Amino acid sequence: MSKLAQLQTALAALDPLHLEVLDESHMHSRGLESHYKAVIVSPEFAGLSAVKRHQKVYASLGELMSEVHALALHTYTPEEWAQQGTAPASPTCKGGH
């Protein structure tokens, strides 16, 4: 199973209404399957700060976190997602050689 599929499967534990996991490794110089972006919309994020939301995501990923160099998280409640409807674009890599 690819790293992308593993991430998607693990994040499904958050019961998302919307889940997008993108492999953005091609935008970086670190190699394949190293940089990801996750957009997660879940009622489980209601009332939680950004830090608590991210901790919840990290807990669902468990040991997978040690296999990923970078993970950009965009976490929303259904209400926030209804207002925003999209996650910000990822920045261009500044190097890292």
- For the chain, domain boundaries: 8-72
Beta-strand ranges (E) seen in 35-69 are 35-41
Assess whether pLDDT exceeds 70 at residue 65.
yes
CB 33 within 8 A of CB 23: yes
Dist. CA 24–CA 72, nearest whole Å: 10
In the prediction, which pLDDT does 20 show?
A: 96
Question: What is the per-residue pLDDT for 97?
Answer: 47
Helix or strand run (H / E) with residue 62: none
**Is the four-CA dihedral 88, 4, 54, 97 of positive or negative sign?**
negative
pTM (two decimals)? 0.86
How many CB atoms are located within 10 Å of the residue 87 CB? 20
Note the CATH number of domain 8-72.
3.30.300.90
- The pLDDT of residue 79 is above 60: yes
Q: What is the pLDDT of residue 91?
A: 72
